[in-house]
Structure 1
Amino acid sequence: MSTSKNQNLMKKEEDKSYLIMYVIVSFLLVAVTAWAILNETVDRRPWKNYQKRFYRLEYEKIKQNYEKERANFESPDVQKKYEAAKNKLEHAWEDFKKPPIQNEYKKLSEEQKVLNRELDTLRFKAIVTRNESMEKEYLYGKNPSEHIKHEIEGLEEKGKEFASKIKDLEGKIAPIKARLNDLKHGIDKYTEELDAYPAGMERYTAQLKTFRKTRPNLQVYQTYMEDLNIADRCMSCHVGINSAESVSTEQPYTSHPDQKLYLGNHPPERFGCVLCHEGQASATSGVKKAHGEVEYWLTPINRGKAAQGSCIRCHLEGKEVKGGEVLWEGKRLFEELGCHGCHETVGFGEDKNRMIGPSLKNIKNKVRAEWITAWIKDPKGFRPTTLMPNFRLSDEESQAIAAYLWQHADERSIYEQMPAFDEEQLAQGNFIFEQVGCMACHAYEKEAVRKFAPNLSRISEKINYGYLVEWITNPKGKEPLTRMPNFRLSREKASLVAGYLTSKTSKGISKEGSIDAGWLEDKERARVGEGLIKRYGCFGCHEIKGMEGLGKIGTELSAIGSKHVHLFDFGLLEKKILGEAGLKHFTENIGKARQAWLRAKLHNPRQFDEGKYKKPEDRLKMPDFGLKEEEIESLVVMLSGLREEKLPEAYIASLTEKERSIVEGRRLIGKYNCTGCHQLDLDRLYLAENIEAVGMIKLEEDAGVYFQLWEDNEKLGHKAGET
């Protein structure tokens, strides 16, 4: 019974149909296979579509250029000129084919052939003689002997003889060549002129034929930089990056801007794209992946001016490079603002003969007691063009710092009061001030832009008259590291200049000592001031007695461009700062997030304390430099280029001794502002009739403007040195 039951069950299973299931599974298998093939050949290889479109655009561009050239060639004006050139060539041929000219031409041609054969033989013998001479010189160097010496002398004589014969032959051939050319009646010239008209059209015709004949292959283009172990495949999408002409303004079909400057000095086959623009150069399966704009990728793409930050990784020796203007402006600002006074940064602050700010050891002699607190609290309130930042100090803090500086300065030794100057003496002071060239470095108007040295419009509110006289007489006697030169003025002349400077703004200023400044001698206040000076690192820029050996208070910035973003303190503003950069989380684009933090820090250094309770000593202390947007961008680009990873020597731009000397010379010229008085670059005047004059402009007060030529100018009919 059970056996028959089992047999019935087996029969039922055998009668079951799995057709629908097999159809579904087969369909799924086919679909998955098709998806896998599509994903592998299309989705994961977007560069193929970019290359196809690029070659299509390139073909269309050539076709457009051909049509343009054809239209130009077929225009009435060009056709008229073409026919004229054609007629000239035909007439020239007719003249050339005349029997007398043909006979003379053939005769001279034969003579030229004979002479050329003789010349070739002599040149060959001269080369053989020179080689033998070099061989003998080598043997003589290894084993000197009189025999070899005589052989060398004989060969040299032989060589001179050949040279003389060659010169004679060339002298005979030259007039024959000239006569042959005359006999042709300009055939070569007219042929060249005629061929030039359809040349552009023919060039594009040849390109179109080549394009149709040999279809470009779709392939991955790769530059492998062995020293860095990087496979750069950017050109697989940016196929036309080093093309002479862009086929489209759309990316990735454009060619690189300023090719001669960038690609000429950094050929892609050696540098790739990644050294300047970064990104994930080996990725080819998607645009975002290739650009490194994916989570946790440490070096996402640098676009536009941001790519200039990479220049500093190769160009280490201070030579300013064309095309890196934003970066070099950032470097200049970093040095000029004295950022390295607080932040240790390799390559900055290496001039040990220069302090960022003036020494404060002699402050009692130098400044008026009633001025010092207002300056410490708000430097730009007194002088808008000053480089000193605002530390956002309270009145009490400013007074405490002033008290410490006052009590730790050298005792006052200059008590000279300003005498009463009459109008004639003030005019003399004004004349001396302008004559010696003070205005080359100093501005003297309240609204003037920042110049090389401090603005002197409110100098009388700040400085003691007696100190100013001694300073003008001998600046280095007061401050050995100052860059101001000694103008070798007598004390009488120095007092006239000091009187002129202080008289201009002395109206309404209280007499020195009339305001009670006894608080400057308060010991407890000075003790508080000492702590504030150590906290804010004033000794990083200024020489302060008792603080000469203290170190820098800020974070080292030598590798800020490689610093991990999670180590930056965004405070409670992470969402706001990243949102302004188009990010939700810093991992989306680490480079953009780092730059967003740097930008925010430079714009408002202490904003990250907002909404947080902190003890006073734990609060952020970086001062506000009042930077403009373009200055912030320059600094962000420069700081982003300071990396921990060092490139191999093969990629570092090394300077010759001459170039190194030029860099150092330019640094010294900038340090001492030589260009304030001297013109170091040539001017160019563009005159009518396409005349360009190179030289130097000399200004004469009464006679007008004179331009001194630096080189001969035939069009003007003047020689170098003439005006």
Structure 2
Amino acid sequence: MADSALASEALVKKEPELPAHDPIVTRSTSGILLLCALLLTGSLVWALWDETFGQRPWKGTQQEFVSRYTRYLKSIKPQAGKTEAEVKESAEYQTLDAEARAAQEQVKPETAEIDQKVAQIQRQLDAVTDPFQNQRGRLTVINYNVEIAKGSAQEKYRKQAEEKRQEVVEVELPAPDGSGKIITQKMNYGQLEKFYNDHRDEKARLLGRKAELLKAPTELATKRDDYLRHHMTGLGPSQIDGLIRKMENFDYSILGHQISANESDIVDRCEVCHVGIREPLDIRPADLAPEGPGKKPDSLARAFVSHPNRELLQIHNPDRFGCSSCHWGNGRATTGDVKGHGRHKYWLWPLFERENIEAGCQQCHAGDRVTQGAETLNLGRDLFEQRGCVGCHRYEGFDRETDALSGTRQNTAQLEDQIIGNDKQIRQETEAANQAADDAEAQRLLAHAESLRVSNSLLAARIDQLNLQSKYLMQDQKKIGPNLKDIRLKLRKEWIPVWLKDPQAFRPGTKMPTFWRFGVDRDGDEQVRAISAYLWQEGFSGKVPEQAGGDAARGKDLFETRGCLGCHAIGDGESSMGGTFAANLQRVGEKSNFEYIVRWIHNPRERWAPYCPKEKRDLTAEDYSKNNKPYGFDTELNSRCPNDGAELQVQNMTVMPNFRLTNGDARDIASYLFSLSSPPAYPDASFMDDPNLKEKGHGLIKQYGCASCHEIKGFEEEQRIGKELTVEGATPIERLDFALLTHDAEKGHDPLKLHGDHSEKPWYNHKGFFEHKLAEPSIYDQGKEKDPKDRLRMPKPYLTPEWRNALTTFLLGSVGAEGSNVPASLFYGPQDQRRQDVQNGWWVIKKYNCMGCHEIQVGQRSVLMGVPFYQTPEGKDLLPPILTSEGARVDPNWLLRFLNDPSLEDQKGPVPPIVATDERRGSGVDASGKTNQTADGSAGPNGNGKLKPQPGLDKNGVRVYLKARMPTFSFSPNELQTLVRFFMAMSGQQEPYIKKPLQPLSEQEKLVARQMFTSGTPCLKCHITGDPAHDVQAIAPNFLLAGQRLKPDWTFRWLLDPAQIDPGTAMPSGLFRKEGDRWVINLPNPPASANEYSQDHADLLVRYMLLLTPEEQRRLLATSPVQPAGSTGPPTQGKLSRKNSENLAHRFRNNRREPAVAGTGGRANMRAPGM
């Protein structure tokens, strides 16, 4: 059966088996291939686009800049051509051009001949150079073989060298006549060398002669081109064409605009998009508007502008500093403005807002007090000090005196402990020496004990120096607010609680902040009463001597002209007049005791009782009497404690200086101030005598940190209550407590609406935290449940929006090295001593508000310049002097004496007579100008006595004609040296100063100078001469002071062009003109002796003025035809007429080819001569 089955299967035909299903064979793949090809093509296109544009979005921005900038350049080119043409058409340029062309034409024939000879020589040199060099090369090889060969081989090579020297070569030379013919000459090596060297030397001689000929024409052409460059207000057409070509070849790569400072690890790409930032033109947004120059700008136009302050780029080269170092932001990001500006929560240095841009200056210039050009930052520093922030918050650099005093006291204590330890060791070693086993050991111990005694003497000397330094530092130390130990002597009792409750209600804008806790706490009124009680009960008891009333009308005149308005203001709101550095005095009569105000005006530094820091208490008369010493204290001889010898605080710690007023003047001013208001009826304040309230007040004063700004009994050594803010801007955002407002800050909900239309902008950042904290310090306590002692304590200061922004800018930049976006190696740390002196001086200048009366920086307006009196023609003549060049003007030794005593009571040498009418002098002054010490009775140094004698005279030491008084600041030697070095450094003067010797005058020179003084020059019309009738109208110092005071070199420059040093001065320019290498008097009819004098007239007058004696001055006045200034009548006031002054200035400037200063001769634009 099996076999048959197999047979049947063999007979059946089988179908072949089909292969497995194959999609490639069984179906079409063209669709898939097409799709893949399209995807691949699309990916390629996308990759190319992303490579070209997607990852380089700046290219479109740059293309837009190139297009707009090119259009702008073409639009201004015609005007640039006009500007250049206008300069070239000026008489000065035409003269310079004519001189340059004439000089060029004069040497042209000879230079052309030289060029022809040089060209012929060069052709001959070209022809001989190759043969000569070939022969010299072969000879050099042979000479080398001579040097390395030995024996007979050396002689062989010498022979070859000689043969080579004698070998003759043919040289084809151009004919020397320049005909173009070729002459063949045969020369050996020596002849070739001589021919080559002779022609080379001749060529050098001719070129040297040509350079000598072209020297004068080149100098004239350079002078002409410099004149064109200096007088062009913008770029010329050729320069603009160069910028257009630059745009045509613009580099669109990152590397073309990337800043890489490898030494500082700075990579910055801001200029990839901000392409116009360093362009030589001032580009404004409207210039690159999308629709054309002058149209409405868009965001790109605002990004393409040039840097607004080119001077900053000169001293902060972007190639070294980059951009983001100062402005912050992510300088490496280029894919969008959000990333590039650092607006990302993980980026630590977001771009500063426009109004806070100067915060970047603070990170490097944290040690500066004034940073040139950073006005907002400087204002923030001023406010941090003046508004009392520094009272509660330490900031490095703002506690110079306090830190130094603390260090000095600590060093003193350590040295005293060391002396005690040495004394103990001396006793031990002396005793051990007495018990020593042998003499050698005893001598060793005694010798060591002796060395310790000597060491103690040296330590004692060091302690003496530290004590002296402590004395000066205590003299320098000032408080922000008034001394509250005087509260019972000074203030009305009932007024104190009213003031503490809301200072701004009584005096809007006052420095005293509002303690908002008093208005929101349930026991706020009780806190006010407790603090008032403590202050009242702990104040000095006693009674200020009674004072008679004064003349309020005269007091008004004194207040408005003496200089009080440089710091203080009078009036409310828009009608106020004066400065904001100190308190507005409009309502002083509503709060104060008249007698105390008289005493304060007379001498604000006078202290009721001295304070001993070692005993930590105020001393009394008993402390002096028990030590058999009179009760007296001052900064000179009586500054030590009678009990322990420690240095005392003997002055009120106020910056207000002493104006050296007479007793009558002080009463008149006080009477005027008290006439401005009448004391209202205040609520009863008998609770201030409650001793129970006093104890509570003690704790509240400590809690609120009142002693940070005020001197309060029992709190003299109290420390600050606020955190240090030196690096507050670097605090991580998570550590800034936004409290319950965190969500609102992130979403942009602003409860204070600080920015109006931008109120929905998120403010969860450092700027938002600082702004809201300053605007409303209680804001981060809103909705919080806290124990009263844990509540925020910062009071609310009065800040305008501008002030708040300035303080925010200051804090944003306070990041220190750890939070800075700049390597510490780039921080500003001046190695130049003069720059350090400038910054050290600014601390003192700002401390005492010197800029309230004086112009110290060029262009800076003092407060007095805005006072109505000083805006009148007469008042402008009486403004305090400009100090922009004080260091170059005066002898530093004289300046030191002057700052110590501005009245120059101890002036060495001749002092001009003091002329003072009863009107100027007031009561209490004798005819010499000295304070009448017996005008008010006792003058003893008693805290409870009557008005003490004033330090110095009742006058200005130099400009006695000024109504404004240079006060006595009681500067310590530290501050005196700092100020002198400041003025010297500001004027670029060298330390130490070596006085220039002056050549004595011969009798003939005295005669010439005397005749020049009296033959038309206006010197004697304006300057004090000692003649009372004349000096009433004088507006310039006496020449007798010049010798000790002025520097010869500055005086020389001043005589030539005073308007250049002090624009607007009444001192006329053009008194001298240049003749050859000397200056001669520029008068219509100069004296004959001047014409015969062959030396420099200006130098002669300088020596004459600086060597002037009282006898010579009297002789000068006796020979002068000039009438006293008083006789010329009020309109001229002893000065040059405007016409004469302008004529002199015109002649002088024509000689120098300089443009005239507008208004130099005008009365309204003049100031008193500043010499």
Among candidates 393, 400, 415, match of residue 530 of structure 2: 400
1:379 aligns with 2:503: yes
The residue number in structure 1 matching 2:697 is 529
**Preserved contact between residue 345 and residue 557 of structure 1 (Cα < 8 Å):** yes
Question: In 1, Cα distance between the equivalents of 2:16 and 2:768?
Answer: 77
Find 1:244's aligned residue among 280, 291, 303. Answer: 280
- 1:372 shift after superposition: 0.9
Q: Is the 8 A contact 2:510 2:798 kept in 1?
A: no
Contact 1:581–1:596 (CA under 8 A) maintained in structure 2: no
Match among 558, 571, 580 for residue 445 of structure 1:
571
The 10-residue stretch of structure 1 (519-528 or 52-61) with the greater mean CA deviation from structure 2: 52-61
2:715 aligned to 527, 543, 547, which one?
547
Give the Cα separation in 2 of the matches to 1:231 and 1:649.
Answer: 16
Residue in 2 that maps onto 1:557: 725
Whether contact under 8 Å (1:231, 1:282) holds in the other structure is yes
Partner of 1:268: 318
Q: Cα deviation per residue 1:635-678 (whole Å; 9 max; x = unaligned)?
A: 11111111142542344252632233333334323322334445
Out of 598, 616, 619, the position equivalent to 2:788 is: 616
Q: Distance in 2 between matches of 1:314 and 1:273?
A: 14
Match among 473, 476, 480 for residue 605 of structure 2: 476
2-structure distance, mates of 1:570, 1:253: 33
Matched, 1:358 2:368: no
C-alpha separation between the residues in 1 aligned to 2:665 and 2:250? 84
Over the matched positions of the two proteins, sequence identity in percent amounts to 31
On the 8 A contact 2:534/2:693 being kept in 1, the answer is: yes
1:17 aligned to which of 22, 27, 35: 27
Distance 1:609 1:677, change over 3 A: closer
Among 335, 352, 355, the alignment partner of 2:385 is: 335
C-alpha distance in structure 2 between counterparts of 1:370 and 1:391, whole Å: 19
Label 1:399 to 1:233 Cα distance change in 2 as closer, same or farther (>3 A).
same
Structure 1 residues 447-480: Cα deviation after superposition (integer angstroms, max 9, x where no partner): 4255332222222322223333333343222243
AA of the residue aligned to 1:456: L
Instruction: Quote the Cα distance in structure 2 between the aligned partners of 1:292 and 1:629.
Output: 26
Moved more, 360-369 or 262-271: 360-369
Q: How does 1:685-696 map to 2 (within 5 A)?
A: none
The answer for unaligned runs of 5 or more in structure 2 is: 1-8, 118-208, 290-299, 403-476, 519-523, 608-650, 751-759, 862-874, 879-961, 964-1031, 1037-1063, 1072-1141, 1149-1159, 1161-1167
* Helix, strand or coil at the partner of 2:484: coil
Compare 706-715 and 327-336 and name the one that shifted more.
Answer: 706-715
Taking only aligned residues, the RMSD between alpha carbons, in angstroms, comes to 4.9
Assess, with a 3 A threshold, how the Cα gap between structure 1 residues 44 and 408 changes in structure 2: closer, same or farther: same
Return 275-284 or 201-210, whichever deviates more. 201-210
Q: Does 1:226 align with 2:262?
A: yes
Q: Distance in 2 between matches of 1:323 and 1:5?
A: 102
- 3-state DSSP class of the match of 2:68? helix
Q: State the TM-score, normalizing by the size of structure 1.
A: 0.72
Supply the AA of the counterpart residue of 2:288: S
In structure 2, C-alpha distance between the alignment counterparts of 1:418 and 1:386, rounded to whole Å: 28
Structure number, greater radius of gyration: 2
Question: Counterpart of 1:238 in 2: which secondary structure?
Answer: coil
CA distance in structure 1 between the aligned counterparts of 2:488 and 2:224, rounded to whole angstroms? 84
Q: What SS does the aligned partner of 1:313 have?
A: helix
C-alpha separation in 2, matches of 1:633 and 1:488 = 39
CA-CA distance at 1:206 after TM superposition: 6.3
Unaligned runs of 5+ in 1: 115-169, 583-587, 686-695
Aligned length: 614
AA of the residue aligned to 2:271: M
Supply the AA of the counterpart residue of 1:218: S
Alpha-carbon contact 1:54-1:253 (below 8 Å) kept: no
**Contact 2:763-2:769 within 8 A present in 1 as well:** no
* 1:526-556 deviation digits (Å, cap 9, x = unpaired): 2332232222211221122223333322232
Task: Name the CA distance, whole Å, in 2 between partners of 1:454 and 1:477.
Answer: 19
Secondary structure of 2:715's match?
coil
Could you tell me which residue of structure 1 aligns to residue 136 of structure 2?
none
Q: Which residue of 829, 838, 854 corresponds with 1:662?
A: 838
Q: Give the Cα separation in 1 of the matches to 2:587 and 2:15.
A: 118
Match of 1:596, SS state, is helix
Match of residue 771 from structure 2: 599
- What amino acid does structure 1 have at the position aligned with 2:370? E
TM-score normalized by structure 2?
0.46
CA distance in 2, matches of 1:33, 1:105: 67
Counterpart-to-counterpart distance in 2, 1:110 and 1:15: 95
For 2:568, the aligned partner's letter is H
What does residue range 439-518 of structure 1 map to in structure 2 within 5 Å?
439-447=565-573, 448=576, 450-478=579-607, 479-489=651-661, 491=663, 494-506=666-678, 516-518=684-686
Is 2:590–2:679's contact at 8 Å kept on the other side of the alignment? no
Match of 2:345 in 1: 295
Structure 1 residues 590 and 223, CA gap change in structure 2 (3 angstroms)? farther
Matching residue within 869, 874, 877 for 1:698 = 877
Moved more, 319-328 or 304-313: 319-328
The 1:502/1:360 distance shift into structure 2, 3 A limit, reads: same
Amino acid in structure 2 at the alignment position of 1:248: L
Question: Which secondary structure does the structure 1 equivalent of 2:494 belong to?
Answer: helix
Tell me how far apart the structure 2 counterparts of residues 682 and 300 of structure 1 sit (CA, whole Å): 35
CA contact (8 A) 2:264 2:825 kept: no
Cα pair 1:55 1:216 within 8 Å, conserved: no
Partners of 1:591 and 1:28 lie apart in 2 by 46
Matched, 1:55 2:70: no
**1:326 Cα deviation after fit:** 1.2
Task: Give the letter aligned to residue 442 of structure 1.
Answer: H
Partners of 2:827 and 2:561 in 1: CA distance: 50
Q: Report the alpha carbon displacement of residue 311 of structure 1 after superposing the two structures with TM.
A: 0.5
- Tell me the distance in 1 between the aligned counterparts of 2:72 and 2:310: 22
Cα distance change on mapping 1:244 and 1:303 into 2, 3 Å: farther
What is the one-letter code of the residue matched to 1:370?
Answer: E
Counterpart of 1:665 in 2: which secondary structure? helix
Alpha-carbon distance in structure 1 between the residues aligned to 2:587 and 2:16: 115
Measure how far apart 1:303 and its partner are. 4.1
Q: CA deviation at 1:487?
A: 3.5
Quick one: higher RCO (CA 8 Å, sep 6+), 1 or 2? Answer: 1
**Is the 1:560–1:640 contact (alpha carbons within 8 Å) kept by the matching residues of 2?**
yes
* CA separation of 1:559 and 1:189: change in aligned 2, threshold 3 A: closer
Distance 1:328 1:592, change over 3 A: farther
Residue 390 (structure 1) shift: 0.4
Q: Decide which moves more: 270-279 or 433-442.
A: 433-442
Question: What does the per-residue CA deviation read over 1:598-653, in whole Å, with 9 as the maximum and x for residues that have no partner?
Answer: 11111111122223333322322221113111111111111111114254234425
Task: Return the alpha-carbon distance in structure 1 between the equivalents of residues 47 and 65 of structure 2.
Answer: 26
2:272 maps to amino acid = S
The 2-side partners of 1:563 and 1:524 are apart by 43
Matched to 1:441, the amino acid is C
Moved more, 300-309 or 643-652: 643-652
Of 825, 832, 856, 1:649 maps to 825
